[in-house]
């Protein structure tokens, strides 16, 4: 089958394209922003990319158009598809019907930590010899790729598939969350906060979508639920038809608990019984909770907790998750995907735990749809409190322009914070402030104009 993908350069749709190609389909695609690294990754797979959404692309005569949620009514190519009555489907629906059918799907849902937890879970299954398929919204360093079909050697395709399960809506014609399409059997509900202010009016609306996911999990399936999250407890209280295990519970409570050592190791307990100790380089309580969820989910498919704990000792994290991009003149520069205030706070806290009293220079681009709307701006100062200096960047024009005053939002931080609308000015300000021994933490869910390398060049 020939499929043509609209919006192919997004992390989900790009991963779908790779999986479709591996499954034997002819794959082409288009997007408004066709540039590296996604363009080069896809072209290396033999996938033809077209810049823009010209209506003439219908002349490729694919068997099916697969539509990403970046496409809306008024898109020239989409209008031509509709006018001609050509066959189309959303990316998540195509994924559910063509890749995930007949798989044991392990879905990782939550406001934060989906990518890291999915990567942990895929690695635990790989380490156990399961060779799972996966689709992850980042590049796990243990694999070097974000998506694959999976194989168990002589027996053909692996029956197990790990997927990052996003609550964002499916397409302009299907406003359900993506994850309802995935035919989940093991569901991690990692955490739940208000986010995606561009499509959800409040937290209750997101809780409803999470319960739609719960409704799709079969009776022989299992929910792995964060026991510390009131919103998730409300979700499950609406109705649960599957097995359930909670993680992050207090010692002595049913489920999975942990106990942290001063050096970062942590003990894992299930039903009060010690399962082993995770020894790794990652920091932060959020990562320990992610690990606990991955251990619990892996156990549902037959991986003993002790084996999962051993695997996590060799886990190498994910690109853009506290990734050290380099050092120059004694100044380390990190890249992190954090963009929600809670994620920013946990990321800064994780680095603080790692570097002790050394100075942290936080460089932030609030460019997610939620942040651009200003919904979370009041929470920004508190999320950055542990940083020594803060450099905020807010474009005044273009698709990533803020609709609010960043300098005003950062004002509660006083003299330690500054806002910029020109990238070069921000780079020069960081260069002037930085000194040997400092740690520069760059946080954005976009490319941030290549600021990481610009900082390293300037510092050198």
Residue 114 assigned as binding residue: yes
240: alpha, beta or left? (left if phi > 0; alpha if psi -120 to 50) = beta
Strands 323-328 and 331-336: antiparallel
**129 a known binding residue?**
no
Residues 6+ apart with CB under 8 A from 312: 120, 123, 124, 278, 280, 291, 294, 295
67 burial via Cβ count (<10 Å: 0-12, 13-18, 19+): buried
Residue reference for tokens 């930590």: 113
Beta-sheet strand order (sheet of 104-109): 147-148, 133-135, 160-164, 104-109, 184-189, 222-226, 243-247, 256-260, 266-270, 273-278
**Using CA atoms, how far apart are residues 34 and 412, in angstroms rounded to an integer?**
39
116 known ligand binder: yes
The answer to whether the annotation marks 115 as part of a ligand binding site is: yes
The answer to whether 259 and 267 are in contact (CB under 8 A) is yes
Q: How far apart are CA 268 and CA 258, in angstroms?
A: 5
Known binding residue 112? Answer is: yes
Enumerate residues 6+ apart whose C-beta is below 8 A from 27: 2, 3, 5, 17, 20, 21, 45, 47
* Residue 439 CB neighbour total at 10 angstroms: 22
State yes or no: 111 annotated in a binding site. yes
* Cβ–Cβ < 8 Å for 9, 39: yes
CB 197 within 8 A of CB 161: no
Residue ranges for the known binding site for ATP are 110-116
Residue ranges for the known binding site are 110-116
């Amino acid at each position: 089958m020939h499929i043509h993908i609209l919006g192919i350069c997004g992390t989900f749709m790009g991963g779908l394209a790779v999986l479709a190609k591996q499954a034997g389909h002819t794959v082409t695609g288009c997007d408004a922003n066709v540039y590296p690294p996604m363009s080069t990754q896809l072209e290396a797979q033999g996938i033809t990319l077209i810049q823009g959404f010209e209506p003439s692309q219908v002349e490729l005569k694919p068997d099916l158009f697969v539509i990403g949620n970046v496409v809306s009514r008024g898109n020239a190519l989409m209008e031509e598809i509709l006018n001609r009555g050509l066959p189309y489907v959303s990316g998540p629906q195509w994924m559910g019907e063509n890749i995930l059918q007949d798989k044991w799907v392990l879905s990782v849902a939550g406001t934060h930590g989906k990518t890291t937890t999915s990567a942990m879970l895929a690695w635990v299954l790989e380490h156990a010899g399961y060779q799972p398929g996966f689709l992850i919204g980042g590049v796990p360093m243990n694999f070097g790729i974000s998506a694959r079909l999976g194989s168990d050697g002589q027996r053909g395709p692996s029956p197990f598939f790990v997927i990052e399960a996003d609550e964002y809506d499916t397409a302009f014609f299907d406003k359900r969350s993506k994850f309802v399409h995935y035919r989940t059997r093991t569901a991690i509900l990692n955490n739940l906060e208000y986010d995606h202010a561009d499509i959800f009016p409040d937290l209750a609306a997101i809780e409803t979508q999470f319960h739609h996911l719960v409704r799709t999990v079969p009776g022989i399936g299992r929910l792995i639920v964060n026991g510390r999250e009131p919103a998730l407890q409300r979700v499950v209280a609406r109705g649960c038809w599957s097995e359930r295990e909670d993680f992050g519970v207090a010692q002595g409570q049913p489920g999975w608990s942990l106990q942290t050592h001063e050096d970062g190791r942590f003990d894992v307990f299930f039903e009060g019984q010690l399962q082993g100790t995770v020894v790794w380089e990652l920091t932060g309580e959020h990562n320990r909770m992610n690990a606990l969820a991955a251990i619990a989910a892996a156990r549902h498919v037959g991986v003993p907790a002790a084996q999962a704990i051993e695997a996590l000792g060799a886990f190498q994290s994910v690109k853009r998750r506290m990734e050290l991009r380099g050092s120059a003149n004694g100044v380390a520069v990190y890249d992190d995907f954090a963009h929600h205030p809670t994620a920013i706070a946990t990321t800064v806290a994780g680095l603080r735990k790692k570097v002790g009293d050394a100075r942290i220079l936080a460089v932030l681009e609030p460019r997610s749809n939620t942040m651009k709307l200003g919904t979370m701006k009041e929470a920004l100062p508190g999320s950055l409190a542990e940083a020594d200096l803060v450099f905020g960047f807010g474009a005044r024009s273009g698709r990533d322009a803020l609709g609010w005053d960043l300098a005003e939002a950062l004002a509660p931080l006083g003299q330690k914070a500054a806002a910029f609308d020109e990238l070069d000015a921000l780079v020069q300000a960081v260069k002037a402030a930085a000194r040997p021994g400092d740690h520069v933490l760059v946080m954005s869910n976009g490319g941030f104009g290549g600021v990481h390398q610009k900082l390293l060049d300037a510092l050198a």
